[in-house]
Structure 1
Amino acid sequence: MLILKTVFFFGCLTFFLSLILIYISEKYVIYSNILIDSIDNLLPQSQCGQCQYVSCYSYAKAIILNGEKINKCIPGGMSIIKNISNFLNVDVVKDQHFEDNNIIIDYRIIAWINEDHCVGCNKCIHVCPVDSIIGSKNLTHTIISDFCTGCKLCIEVCPTDCIKLRKVEI
């Protein structure tokens, strides 16, 4: 009999809590913009800030709501620019790579570790948003240049100042 009372109690509790959840979900509906979400899904999600926005979502929001240029995502490169332009049905200016204050940028910036000065502190590994830094604690680290977005987050935390930025032609 005690088992039946317990099952009945938890069944009723579950029922009433589900009614509360249904009420709350209908009262506090979060509306999202499908265009912003679609543009955000096209972006690389590295949250590097090179587009001058805090996150890829805020950049996508600025593209849709403020008419921001679609060519500010440096880590995404030309492929992201073309995908966004196809989605929004806008033209890409010729075959230019990136435009920053009317200067065409035809290179990428990536981080490079001077392995002679690296002490293996692991601080850079934890801040890299795209996991392009490999290495173990107390051992030399290195950067996989194909994955690096040049966000400069690793430079700020490096205690030995052994991480530098380099230009790589596209």
Structure 2
Amino acid sequence: MIEAVGAMSALGLGLGLMLGFAARRFHVEAPPVVDAIDAILPGTNCGACGYPGCHGLAEAMAEGSAPVTACTPGGRDVALALAEVVQEIDCGGGGVSLAGMAETEPMVAFIFEDHCTGCTKCFKRCPTDAIIGANRQIHTVITDACTGCDACIEVCPTEAIVKRVKPKSLRQWYWDKPEPRRDAARTEQAA
């Protein structure tokens, strides 16, 4: 018994040292722009952009093969921050146009509990573990963890999952944008 433990320990130590050496020897440095883009992305690895995770999207953006508007769960704010890092928006001329991206409120999944059969398909597909429930039991969504990536909506066999506007709470409440004053617009036209 002691010999088996010693042999397994020696084998584990030897393989660990070999892996450590290989990691240092064959390490490839990523460009700093990839790390900067990856830091801005939500980091949920939902796959809504069509790339294998946020790091894959960051590499594609650094190469120029993916637009800054690819991260749909991030929305317009993430796209603007990404455009600054990638330097696609310049002050006067060409660059990326974010006019097509509407300013929308964050969306989250919502499960109609009377249609849920408890099949756990949505539970298994959620990249952020925002869906709770068990087999043959009703599931529900934790709205603070949901990114609105549509992964659960695609696999639901009963179509019990829809996207809704994220309900406002005290933690994420914000003021609505004010409407422009009509008097200010008239004075600008007069000037």
The TM-score range, normalised by the shorter chain, is 0.5 to 0.7
In structure 2, the partner of 1:3 is none
- Distance 1:22-1:125 versus aligned 2 partners, 3 A rule: closer
Q: Distance in 1 between matches of 2:53 and 2:75?
A: 16
- Distance 1:38-1:104 versus aligned 2 partners, 3 A rule: closer
Question: Runs of 5+ in structure 1 lacking a partner?
Answer: 1-5
- Distance 1:141-1:23 versus aligned 2 partners, 3 A rule: closer
Q: Match for 1:153 among 147, 151, 154?
A: 151
In structure 2, the partner of 1:36 is 34
In structure 1, the partner of 2:78 is 80
In structure 2, the partner of 1:45 is 43
In structure 2, the partner of 1:103 is 100
Is the 2:122–2:152 Cα contact (8 Å) retained in structure 1?
Answer: yes
Is the 2:38–2:55 Cα contact (8 Å) retained in structure 1?
Answer: yes
Is the 1:85–1:92 Cα contact (8 Å) retained in structure 2?
Answer: no
Q: What RMSD over aligned residues (CA atoms) do the two structures have, in Å? A: 3.6
Q: Distance in 1 between matches of 2:146 and 2:115?
A: 20
Q: Distance in 1 between matches of 2:135 and 2:20?
A: 49
Shift of 1:167: 5.5
Question: Runs of 5+ in structure 2 lacking a partner?
Answer: 1-5, 92-96, 168-175, 177-191
Kindly provide the CA deviation profile for residues 141-161 of structure 1, in whole angstroms up to 9, marking residues without a partner as x: 112334322222212332333
Q: Distance in 1 between matches of 2:148 and 2:43?
A: 14
Over the matched positions of the two proteins, sequence identity in percent amounts to 33
Q: Distance in 2 between matches of 1:162 and 1:44?
A: 26
Given the two structures, how large is their TM-score scaled by the length of structure 1?
A: 0.65
Q: Distance in 2 between matches of 1:72 and 1:92?
A: 19
- Distance 1:65-1:132 versus aligned 2 partners, 3 A rule: same
| Higher RCO by CA contacts (8 Å cutoff, separation 6 or greater) | 1
Shift of 1:36: 0.8
Shift of 1:166: 3.8
Q: Distance in 2 between matches of 1:44 and 1:92?
A: 24
Q: Distance in 2 between matches of 1:160 and 1:36?
A: 40
Is the 1:82–1:92 Cα contact (8 Å) retained in structure 2?
Answer: no
Q: State the SS of the aligned residue for 2:162.
A: strand
In structure 1, the partner of 2:119 is 121
Q: Is residue 66 of structure 1 aligned with residue 64 of structure 2?
A: yes
Shift of 1:162: 1.4
Q: How many residues end up aligned between the 2 structures?
A: 151
- Distance 1:21-1:71 versus aligned 2 partners, 3 A rule: closer
Q: Distance in 2 between matches of 1:50 and 1:85?
A: 19
Is the 1:119–1:139 Cα contact (8 Å) retained in structure 2?
Answer: yes
